[in-house]
Amino acid sequence: MIDATRNWSRSVILWNSALDQNQEPHLGDCKNCRGVITVKDADGAGEAVPTVDFTALAHVREFVRPGARRIESNTFGPGSLEDVAFRNPDGSLVLLVLNSGSKRVTFNVSWEKKYAVYTLPANAVATLIWRCGQHR
């Protein structure tokens, strides 16, 4: 989601809504297919289990509101800090940050001459929000 929206995509599509515990069915040469949910039916009971993509979509939906616009931010790419920022229709700002590296990273955030320092563990995400007229 970060890469697509950093490249000015207006939406994100995850092709597989639901796959079974064997990541099937799928077409083509998919090396690491996964669905938004996994349907586990090994014992015949059938259980829908949310995946990391389900959680990520739900998280982004919670903070990036319909009509939000992507705004400029810097990123360091895979294996380090990856981020994307948005301005919501209400004027609030949302910064989504992923530490895709194997070590925790401390970083600085600045906006309109205000600064914050944040430490993000390895393989973790954070969402920073600036509401209209306040900082959080």
Helix, strand, coil proportions of the chain in percent (round to 5)?
10, 35, 50
Q: How high is the pLDDT of residue 31? A: 72
Report pLDDT digits (tens) over 41-65: 877 778 889 988 888 888 888 999 9
Q: How far apart are CA 60 and CA 83, in angstroms?
A: 12
Asked if residue 136 and residue 70 are part of one domain, the reply reads yes
Q: Which phi and psi angles does 53 have, rounded to 5°?
A: -65, -40
Asked if 136 and 130 touch (Cβ cutoff 8 Å), the reply is: yes
Asked if residue 34 and residue 6 are part of one domain, the reply reads yes
Does residue 135 register a pLDDT over 60?
no
Alpha-carbon dihedral angle through residues 125, 24, 7, 116, given to the nearest 10 degrees? 0
pTM score: 0.78
Of 63, 81, 106, which marks where a domain is finished?
63
Q: How high is the pLDDT of residue 110? A: 86
pLDDT category at 17 given cuts 50, 70, 90 is confident
Report pLDDT digits (tens) over 59-88: 888 999 999 999 988 877 778 899 999 999
SS3 121: coil
More confident residue, 56 or 26: 56
Q: How would you classify the pairing of strands 47-50 and 18-20?
A: unpaired
What mean pLDDT is reported for the chain?
85
Q: Tell me which residue range forms the domain holding 112.
A: 66-136
Asked if residue 85 and residue 120 are part of one domain, the reply reads yes
Asked if residue 102 and residue 55 are part of one domain, the reply reads no
Of 63, 89, 110, which marks where a domain is finished?
63
Q: How high is the pLDDT of residue 133? A: 56
How many other C-beta atoms are found inside a 10 Å radius of the C-beta of residue 97? Answer: 22
Q: How far apart are CA 113 and CA 110, in angstroms?
A: 7
Number of domains in the chain: 2
Asked if residue 111 and residue 51 are part of one domain, the reply reads no
